[in-house]
């Protein structure tokens, strides 16, 4: 999942500095990752700062433009080439993976309060939600979901707006990238 804030995108494990996340476990899909990166992240302006979740060489940021041109896993590759690259990585199996995957699937769910039913939920291909900043009297500067009665309208810059600053976020199945919808 990636989050766009102004001219910064927090990409988690989707897009790394000169790399990308693994697709060989936990329901990974090289095809979905390719589409998320090329149609969502690479559609952002080249100067957008990318903040990946981690980097083993200590690099903390990059830009969309740099990754488009120099990322050895995806720059200039077709989907078929990217899938072949990801399939040929032959990365070692993470230690304790058999413990981590089941824990990740249920982490944060209150099974005593019916949370186990959420395990049956599956992401829809595209899901849109509108968020806005709450007022200081209702808890401060937090993004909160709008109710169905909150009807955003296009603003001068093309982003959705209502009485409070807002933006529509689009979640795409696969890697769940989120970004502003223009």
pLDDT of residue 144: 41
Residue 108 has φ and ψ, to the nearest 5°, of 85, -5
Domains and CATH numbers, the chain: 3-91 (3.60.15.10), 124-180 (no CATH)
Identify the residue with better confidence: 16 or 123. 16
Q: What one-character DSSP code corresponds to residue 73?
A: T
Identify the residue with better confidence: 15 or 140. 15
The residue written with tokens 């989707």 in the block is 14
Q: Report the C-alpha gap between 112 and 39 in whole angstroms.
A: 40
In the predicted structure, residue 105 carries a pLDDT above the cut 70: yes
Give the mean pLDDT of 94-118: 73
Those residues with Cβ within 8 angstroms of residue 165's Cβ, 6 or more apart along the chain or in another chain: 132, 133
Query: 66-90, pLDDT tens digit by residue?
Result: 999 999 999 999 999 999 999 999 8
pTM of the model: 0.59
List, as one string, the DSSP characters of 132-155. Answer: EEPPGGGTSS-EEEPPTT---EE-
């Amino acid at each position: 999942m990636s989050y766009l804030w102004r001219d910064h995108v927090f990409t988690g494990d989707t897009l790394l500095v000169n790399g990308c996340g693994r697709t060989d476990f936990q329901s990974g899909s090289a095809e979905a990752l390719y589409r998320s990166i090329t149609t969502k992240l690479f559609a952002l302006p080249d100067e957008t700062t990318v903040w990946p979740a981690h980097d083993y060489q200590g690099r903390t940021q990059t830009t969309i433009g740099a990754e488009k041109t120099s990322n050895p896993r995806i720059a200039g590759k077709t989907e078929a080439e990217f899938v072949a690259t990801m399939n040929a990585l032959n990365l070692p199996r993470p230690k304790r993976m058999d413990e981590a995957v089941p824990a990740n699937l249920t982490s944060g769910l209150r099974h005593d309060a019916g949370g186990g039913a959420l395990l049956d939920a599956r992401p829809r291909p595209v899901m849109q939600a509108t968020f806005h900043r709450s007022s200081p009297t209702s808890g401060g500067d937090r993004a909160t979901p709008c109710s169905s009665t909150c009807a955003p309208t296009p603003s001068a810059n093309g982003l959705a707006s209502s009485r409070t600053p807002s933006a529509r976020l689009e979640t795409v199945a696969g890697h769940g990238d989120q970004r502003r919808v223009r």
